[in-house]
Every structure is written in C-alpha cells, then in structure tokens.
Structure 1
Amino acid sequence: MAEELVTDSVKDYYGKVLSKTDDLKTNACVSIEGSAKIAKHIRKAIAQVHDEVVIKYYGCGLCIPTTLEDMSILDLGSGSGRDCYILSKLVGKNGHVVGIDMTDEQLEVANKYIDYHREKFGFAKSNVEFVKGYIEKLGEAGLKDNTFDIIVSNCVINLSPDKHAVIAEAYRVLKEGGELYFSDVYADRELSDDIRKHKVLWGECIAGALYWKDFVDISKKVGFSRPRLVEAGIIEVTKPELKEVLGDAKFVSVTYRMFKLPKTEKPASQVIYEGNIEDSEKEFKLDYNHIFCAGDVVSVDSDISTILQCSRLADEFTFQPSAVKGGASCSPKEEDIVDPFEYLAKGGPSKGACCAPSDNSKGGCC
C-alpha cells in the first residue's frame, strides 16, 4: 500500500471506524500489562484521567517509565491523550508534555480536557499540549533538535509507512542522554504484500509490523543504543478471515527502551542502586535481564554503565570501578536477548534479579 494510502487509511480507522476499545478486532492494541504490575503512583494518576479520554485509548502497553519529575516528554501518536495526561501528573508542574497526532477526532478529545486535568492535578497552568502532525515529520510540527528528555510511544510506530524516519526523528529531538521508551508490534518475518495491503490489519497494528531484525538494524543505523527488551506478549488473531491472510506469520507486542548516548562509552563498572525511586524502593528494573536490588553491588558492561551514568538515571546509582574488590558483587544471569520471540520461547522474564533467590525460588530482591 502506498504511503499516502496507508496514512489516510489509518486516519480513517482511528478517527471514524473505532469509537471505543471494544471495536478492536485483535488484542494488538490492548495493554499487555496487568494492573498489579503498575506502580501505585501511576495507578493513582490513571484513575484521575477523564473517562472519555480512557475510552478512546488504544495501545499495546503502558509506556510510563520511572523518574519523571520535571522532565520534558514527547508522546508519539498521542491519540485521545490518555498517556499524556498520566505523564502530565507525574512530571509535575515544572515538567512539560507534548502529544503529537495526525487524527483530528482524537486530538479533539485530547484538547477538550486540558483544563479539566489542570484543575484535577492542582496546577496553576497546564503543562501539556497537543499538536497536529506526523511522527515521521516532527520538524514540520515545530519540534526542534535536542528538546526532550524522554519520548514515549504506544503501539503507533507500526502504523507509520516510514519507520526509519520515525526513529531518526525521535533521535533528533531527544537530548543527549534521553530515552525512547515505547511499545510496538513486531513480526517474526518479512510480511507478504497481501498482508501489507490489508486495511483492517493496518488499523489493527498488524500489517505495518516491522520484522524485529529490521527494527534492530534501523535503530543501530540511526544511532540509538542497543534496544533493551522490557516486556513482551503474544498477539492473538482469532478471526478466521484475518488468520487466513496472515498464514504462518507470528506477532508480538514488545516494550523496548533505547537511549541517545554520547559517542564515547563509559567503561564497565560496578553500580549500586540507592533505592530512591518512588514505588521501586526495593528494586529497579531497567529491562527484563537487569533488575537492580537496592544496596547490591552489581557488575555491568560498558553499554549498561553508559546508560546509567549518562541518562536521568545517574542520580539513582552510585558508581565505582569494576576492579573494586570487597562486598557482594553480581551480574545478570544470562546474555541479553533482543529477539522477542526467543525471549518468549525461553519462558519470558528472567527468573532472578541480582541477589540470591528468595525462599519461593522465584528469585527477586532480598
């Protein structure tokens, strides 16, 4: 399907065909994260979002990282504004949130409740704004280089006909040390033309899914750090007419995080999580394989060392040379997995964090 046709089809699907989450025909655009996994302060923020904004929400994961106070955040494909309003609460009155979307109907809902949420959160002036534009062309929407601390995106990049442009634009507008934290849909293979041309499968976040290897290649070419896999879940397509089109192709929804890091890496080091992140006092999860227990000395490679020292997470850790002796020291229990299909085939999350397993044998922080 030509790029213009894809864009028009997606606009129509999210602006006119869908009116609520129940209208979706697959679980690709439904959150993979259960409420039990959501931190208390985030659950409180979600509860304050207006019902109409929530009803119009479509996404394959809750894209809300930690350590957000006073941050400047961009939401790619912000839709009705649900994630933006959650972030608005979490960044506080001195933070700033921008949502960009191309769909008039979604933007109308989002803009309708700016004052509602400002009053709900007790802010003297709103810290959130919504702009109309395309996530492949952030410059045309007035978004400048090195502007944002964090970019989030919730099951939207797959809807773009030019993923390379989206990821490159995200890299451009991030500050050095900034993070792209996002959920999206990936395929286990290159998809056929029959799938790529299917309008419903485009709207359902399936037909536009990248082959996961292509995503990794694009990210590397653009300049991002190696993608860190946070969570993944299988996408089930049950409607016979859609399954027939898809054939043997398999799909997953994945939350990745990537950072815009300086060209010179930090050396491998030992790090100690201080335990000061709200609702993560006992442990901090960087990705599925790096879960830092408060007070533990953990050996990390140069990639993780650079992420922790050069991002907003630096204040949450103490750093020391990797050669330092004494005290308990540990490291991740397995090699990092980027392939979400391999990750799920091996049973999903790592069974232990950095310290010794607890009595229930499931691992975790002591």
Structure 2
Amino acid sequence: MADDCSSCGNVFFDSSIHVDVKDYYGKRLQKSSDLKTNACVTPAQPIPSFVRDALKKVHPEVSAKYYGCGLVVPECLEGCRILDLGSGSGRDCFMLSLLVGEEGHVSGIDMTESQLEVARAYVDYHMKEFGYKKPNVSFVQGYIEALTEVGLEQNSFDITISNCVVNLSPDKKRVLAEVYSVLKEGGELYFSDIYCSGRLTKEIKNHKILWGECLGGALWWKDVLELANEVGFSVPRLVTANVVTVDNKELEDILGDFRFVSATYRLFKVPKGSADTCQVIYNGGITGAEDSFKFDCCYTFKANEVVEVDGEVASILKHSRFADEFTFQPPGGASERCCVKPKAGVVDPFELAVQLGSEGLSAATGGCCSTQSADCCK
C-alpha cells in the first residue's frame, strides 16, 4: 500500500508524478472538454438552491478553468475556517467564501501556478461582488503533502475539503496526516475521490494520462479506511457513491477488469467513540437543512425526531461543529417518544453505488458523486 513518497526529512519536493500532473492540468487541459474520461467531469445534477445561488456569483472565467468532479459542500459553514486541497482556479473557494460569511475564511492550496494565477486575479472581483470590506479568501502555492511547510498553521481549520485531488498524490497517507495536523480538534475532512475495486498494477499507476484523469492514482477503497485509522481519524463515514465509467476504448483495455467509483467520505478529528449508543435530537438549525440533515448514507436526522446513534457517531456529533445543533440524551431518555433505531451501514462504496443506481436514486451533495439525497441503509 506504500506510495511513492517525495520527501527528504521534512522537506517536500517535486516527484515525477507531481511534474506530470502540473503539466496535465496547467498545459494540456484548457477546458473541461479536454478530459479523456468522465472521472473528473461535473455531473449535471440538482444542487441546493443556496449553493446554486453562490455559484452564480463566481466569475465565468474561474468556472471555465475548473476541472473538479462535482461539488464538495459540507453543512454548517457559517464562520468556519476552511481549507480547499487542490483549489485550482478557485471556483469552490469563492463559492465557500460566500457561504462562510465575512467572519469566516477560506484558504486554497494548489501546486499549479497557472491555476493559481486565475484564482488570485479574481479575489477583489468576488469580494466586491459579495460586499465584503476585506478579503476572506486566500491562495497559496504548495503541495497537499506539505501543508505546514507553506505556512498553514496546525490546529487552525474547522474543515478541509478535497474534490478529486487526493488520488493525484503519490503519498496519500502523508496527505491525510498533514490534514489531520492542520485541523482543529473536532475538525472534519470532507472529501470526494475516485476509488478502485482493487490495488492497481504498476503499468496503470505509471500511465500518465490515467493518472491525470484521476484513475491511475486511485486507492483501493479498503485502503482509505486503513490509512484514516493509522493517521488518527475517526472511522470514515460514507456519504455518497457513484459508478465511474471510462468510455475510452484504449484506456479501457489498459484498465482491464478494474472498476472505479467516486465516493465522498467524512473523517473527523475527534476522540474514538465507545460501543454505547446515544439518543440525539436534531434541532433544525443548519442552513439549507432546516427540516432534515443528511449526515451520511445511514443517518438522516429529521428536525425534532429522536434518533438512536452508535457510539462513533455520537462522539463525532458531540465533539465537532455539529454539537450545538443537537440535543443529547442517554438511551431510553425519550422512551415516551418514537425513536429511530441505528441501521447497519453500507461500507462498500461499490455496493452503495449499485444500490442507489438500482433504486433510481442519486446521492447527497458531494464531489464526483451526484447531488440529491437518498437513504442507503438496509
């Protein structure tokens, strides 16, 4: 599972993969239609109205230079400090800078200077568009494997997002470790990425186009669970999943029987949960989720409804930014009221993607995946 680490001590430098990726996204791709697969193409799916309204305010040139695979928009953002890994032209950063408000802040990091030039050129435009007195968004050139090395402070971010970028790194564990370091206690990594049905061959990993198209660097989905645990994160919560098709005969022949899925996970920097269950009541205060809050593919919290959650979810809700959005009570504390019991979660994103597809449903807002809500637990 070891990746090609491009580090010497604490100093990080370009690997051949980084050089190839910068060339692919900085020179070869001029617009989304230049992509050779649909792994990193934004699907045409409905998105929440408040997010759609924010996106409409992003300058057209910024959006035109965006090569992400959808949207990565977690909930409860007001006043938060957010870090966007692989921010590219800055589309998501500008959209999020409006959602966090003038008291919040969004930082974007990218290693491709040509992408950052676009983003930086439109900072003043967006601050004027949003009516902000001072910028609440900034961009830094650097590697997602070396966040603190470029001046991003430890324990300083409430949320880190990533949209189909981690697969482009040759050292995924180091990425997760760096994110863990810069997150505050209770912070969250909410990220979408491409995952594979098995560990890829060297031939596929060394294929420049496949790597640039977000396939050659895809992790076996089980490895992300292991890496998260090794770094210290909570057990990854699967939010969404969607099948990825290649639709390119030459590349399909190279990939053989390997299958790919886009999936969104949320990982938290919180104490490990106990085996005890807990009853929670969602208070209905999250913007855009006043009636119900879809936490992951297993838990959708309806306002004022008593829900029994497992110890891991209870720890996340108690120690994260969601703590003030819930009322907590021990099991049986609301015996006189109807209580929704815990459900066995779908762990395999391929199973979730098939289930959602067979039911004609789309998944919740998130990255490479589609953007409609759907329950997935059996």
The TM-score with structure 1 as length reference comes to 0.92
- Rounded Cα–Cα distance in structure 2 between residues aligned with 1:114 and 1:349: 43
What secondary structure does 1:207 align onto? coil
Match of 1:359 in 2: none
Match of 2:58 in 1: 49
Match of 1:331 in 2: 341
**Given the alignment, which residue of 184, 187, 211 partners 2:220?**
211
Matched, 1:195 2:195: no
Q: Report the AA paired with residue 20 of structure 2.
A: S
What secondary structure does 1:41 align onto? helix
What secondary structure does 1:249 align onto? coil
Unaligned 5+ runs, structure 1: 352-361
Q: CA deviation at 1:240?
A: 0.9
- Rounded Cα–Cα distance in structure 1 between residues aligned with 2:357 and 2:276: 29
Contact 1:289–1:336, Cα closer than 8 Å, also in 2: yes
The TM-score with structure 2 as length reference comes to 0.89
- Rounded Cα–Cα distance in structure 1 between residues aligned with 2:306 and 2:289: 17
- Rounded Cα–Cα distance in structure 1 between residues aligned with 2:135 and 2:341: 43
Q: CA deviation at 1:267?
A: 4.6
Match of 1:73 in 2: 82
Match of 1:127 in 2: 136
Q: CA deviation at 1:278?
A: 1.7
Residue by residue over 1:81-116, the C-alpha shift from the partner in whole angstroms, topping out at 9 and shown as x without a partner, is 011001100111100110000001100000000000
**Given the alignment, which residue of 28, 32, 38 partners 2:39?**
28
Q: Report the AA paired with residue 60 of structure 2.
A: D
What secondary structure does 2:318 align onto? helix
Q: Report the AA paired with residue 28 of structure 2.
A: V
Q: CA deviation at 1:61?
A: 3.0
Q: Report the AA paired with residue 190 of structure 1.
A: R
Higher relative contact order (CA 8 A, sep 6+): 2
Q: CA deviation at 1:33?
A: 6.6
Match of 2:119 in 1: 110
**Given the alignment, which residue of 132, 135, 152 partners 1:143?**
152
Q: Report the AA paired with residue 331 of structure 1.
A: K
What secondary structure does 1:323 align onto? coil
Residue by residue over 1:230-276, the C-alpha shift from the partner in whole angstroms, topping out at 9 and shown as x without a partner, is 11111111111101110010001111111000257595211111112
Q: Report the AA paired with residue 188 of structure 1.
A: S
What secondary structure does 2:322 align onto? helix
Residue correspondence of structure 1 range 248-267 to structure 2 within 5 A:
248-263=257-272, 265=274, 267=276
What secondary structure does 2:120 align onto? helix
- Rounded Cα–Cα distance in structure 1 between residues aligned with 2:275 and 2:156: 24
Q: Report the AA paired with residue 63 of structure 2.
A: V
Q: Report the AA paired with residue 168 of structure 1.
A: A
Q: Report the AA paired with residue 107 of structure 1.
A: L
Q: Report the AA paired with residue 328 of structure 1.
A: C
Match of 1:242 in 2: 251
Shift >4 Å, 4+ stretches: 263-267, 348-351
Q: Report the AA paired with residue 43 of structure 1.
A: R
- Rounded Cα–Cα distance in structure 2 between residues aligned with 1:248 and 1:13: 26
What secondary structure does 1:52 align onto? helix
What secondary structure does 1:200 align onto? helix
Q: Report the AA paired with residue 329 of structure 1.
A: C
What secondary structure does 1:346 align onto? helix
Contact 2:275–2:310, Cα closer than 8 Å, also in 1: no
Match of 1:279 in 2: 288
Q: Report the AA paired with residue 292 of structure 1.
A: F
Match of 1:343 in 2: 352
Aligned pair in 2 of structure 1 residues 33, 286: CA closer, same or farther (>3 Å)?
A: farther
Contact 1:266–1:306, Cα closer than 8 Å, also in 2: no
Match of 2:177 in 1: 168
Aligned pair in 2 of structure 1 residues 307, 33: CA closer, same or farther (>3 Å)?
A: farther
- Rounded Cα–Cα distance in structure 1 between residues aligned with 2:105 and 2:215: 32
% identical aligned pairs = 54
Q: CA deviation at 1:331?
A: 2.2
- Rounded Cα–Cα distance in structure 2 between residues aligned with 1:82 and 1:249: 32
Unaligned 5+ runs, structure 2: 7-14, 362-373
- Rounded Cα–Cα distance in structure 1 between residues aligned with 2:331 and 2:25: 50
Q: Report the AA paired with residue 118 of structure 2.
A: V
What secondary structure does 1:11 align onto? helix
- Rounded Cα–Cα distance in structure 1 between residues aligned with 2:44 and 2:117: 27
- Rounded Cα–Cα distance in structure 1 between residues aligned with 2:375 and 2:82: 34
Contact 1:259–1:307, Cα closer than 8 Å, also in 2: yes
Q: CA deviation at 1:315?
A: 1.2
Contact 1:227–1:338, Cα closer than 8 Å, also in 2: no
Q: CA deviation at 1:60?
A: 2.2
Q: Report the AA paired with residue 143 of structure 1.
A: L
Aligned pair in 2 of structure 1 residues 363, 99: CA closer, same or farther (>3 Å)?
A: closer
- Rounded Cα–Cα distance in structure 1 between residues aligned with 2:285 and 2:249: 49
Contact 2:279–2:309, Cα closer than 8 Å, also in 1: yes
- Rounded Cα–Cα distance in structure 1 between residues aligned with 2:275 and 2:347: 22
Residue by residue over 1:15-35, the C-alpha shift from the partner in whole angstroms, topping out at 9 and shown as x without a partner, is 00001111111111123471x
- Rounded Cα–Cα distance in structure 1 between residues aligned with 2:263 and 2:181: 23
Which piece of structure 1 moves more, 335-344 or 163-172?
A: 335-344
